[in-house]
Structure 1
Amino acid sequence: MAGHSCGDEHHQHGDEQTDAERANAFSLYLKIDTESVMCLNEAVDNSGKLVFKPWNERLNREKFVDSDVDEELLFNIPFTGNVKLKGIIVIGGGEGMDPSKMKLYKNRPSMTFDDVSCEPDQEFDLNPDPEGRLEYPTKVARFNQVEHLSIFFPTNFGAENSRIYYIGLRGEFTEMKRHGVTICNYETQANPSDHKTNLLDQMGHIIH
């Protein structure tokens, strides 16, 4: 699979993992700043946020997002800290509405459809996956220190609109370092130039 330049490989979950283990693995939705999630071209306002839900609700058909004027959907997903993203699962709507491609962009907040022509950090060819058994592994070295993730679904399997029930994110989470603490650390470090100035001043006072 390493030879696939488009990154279209996937791993299929067998029975080697219990539901509890998968639920724990795909818990990054808890680290999303949900109120700030933006989904462009969603048919119903704020419905894009509904697809980030617990593993045991992935088959819930009551919460989903439909695309509006065409099949494209673009998610802007801010996290509450730093994420090392390792894998993604996507459950689509069936009947041709499943997304057929996925492009990932790291740390490019507020992307619009005008921005998706730029080179993605990774892209995948997707397969219909009604039960959420296919995981698309990311290039982990590239998706380290992710504060914001944009996911673009440009096409589906032939329907006029796309539907997504679930997007599962697997990885590791690190709390964001507070900038104030960093500033204080810098301030407590000795500045040699300050000490030189003070020493010269003291010598001047002694001479006088």
Structure 2
Amino acid sequence: MAPHGGNGKCCEGDSHSHDSAEMGIEYSLYTKINKDNLECLNEECEGSGKTIFKPWEERLNFDTMVQSDADEELLFKIPFTANIKLKGIIIIGSEDGSHPSRMRIYKNRPSMTFDDVSSLPDQEFALHQDSSGSLEYATKVVTFNNVHHLTLHFPSNFGEEKTKIYYIGLRGEFFETHHHGVTICNYEARPNMSDHKNALDEMSTHRIQ
């Protein structure tokens, strides 16, 4: 089955080997997370939700994971130390039914709890089981600009009582304010896709919109 997202069609390019260091640069937004204040609601082990935001090189380290507790739902409340522009998300789970099946994304709503997830998300995706980080879910960049807090809600999985996630990768840019103005730090190593139609051919992941 060709992968597809909850808000558009599948975008696939020719597969090419991709430099790990380059991918590590692209997926470095985890370094801008305020982990001291990051919360994961309904995690079985306290603090385990923080461990899955890690370097690209450690994405396949399955020794660290978060597992849900009372049911299959997980809710991540992610504050950032700088404003970000979110362009893509990768979710790594297992190949069994514990992999999340949906993802709902909310921008700049830091006080959300499970009581609030019935509200309309800023974007929602139907997820596919991915144990290698080969699928990227492309966010609506216009919507996810100037993000200082991100909420990720995983309401369901593929049939197990509990949900497991091993890695969440965030791709985009961050903006740091200095006394002399604003510095824009671009964490993309290749040209902007909107300016170069063939840039997708250089990605080793499938981008899903």
Q: TM-score band, normalised by the shorter chain?
A: 0.7 to 0.9
Deviations along 1:173-201, whole A, 9 cap, x unmatched? 001467xx9xxxxxxxxxxxxxxxxxxxx
Say if 1:29 and 1:53, in contact at 8 Å, map to a contact too: yes
Cα offsets for 1:8-34 (capped at 9, x unmatched):
555568325321111110000000001
Mapped contact 1:11–1:137 kept (Cα < 8 A): no
Displacement after TM superposition at 1:111 (Å): 1.1
Match of 2:62 in 1: 61
2:124 match: 123
Secondary structure of the residue aligned to 1:79 is: strand
- Computing the radius of gyration from Cα coordinates, the structure with the larger value is 1
Change (3 A) 1:59 1:108: same
Gaps of 5+ in 2: 182-209
Partner of 1:40: 41
Q: C-alpha displacement at 1:93, in angstroms?
A: 2.8
TM-score by length of 1: 0.80
Cα deviation code 1:96-127 (max 9, x no counterpart)? 11000000000000310001000000000000
**Aligned-residue RMSD, C-alpha:** 1.9
Native 8 Å contact 1:87 1:135 kept in 2: yes
Structure 1 partner of 2:145: 144
Q: Which has the higher helix share?
A: 1
Aligned partners of 1:134, 1:171: CA distance in 2, in Å?
16
Count of residue correspondences: 176
Secondary structure at the residue paired with 1:36? coil
For the residues of structure 2 that align with 1:40 and 1:126, how far apart are their CA atoms?
Answer: 20
Higher strand proportion: 2
Higher normalized contact order (CA 8 Å, seq sep 6+, divided by chain length): 2
What's the % identity of the aligned pairs? 56
| Cα 1:85–1:113 shift into 2, 3 Å | same
Q: How does 1:148-159 map to 2 (within 5 A)?
A: 148-159=149-160
Deviations along 1:59-105, one digit per CA (max 9) or x if unpaired, are: 00111000001100000000001000000000013311100000000
Taking structure 2 as the reference length, the TM-score comes to 0.79
Q: Paired residue for 1:70?
A: 71
Judge conservation of contact 1:8–1:123 (CA < 8 Å) in 2: no
**What one-letter code is carried by the residue in structure 2 that aligns with 1:63?**
T
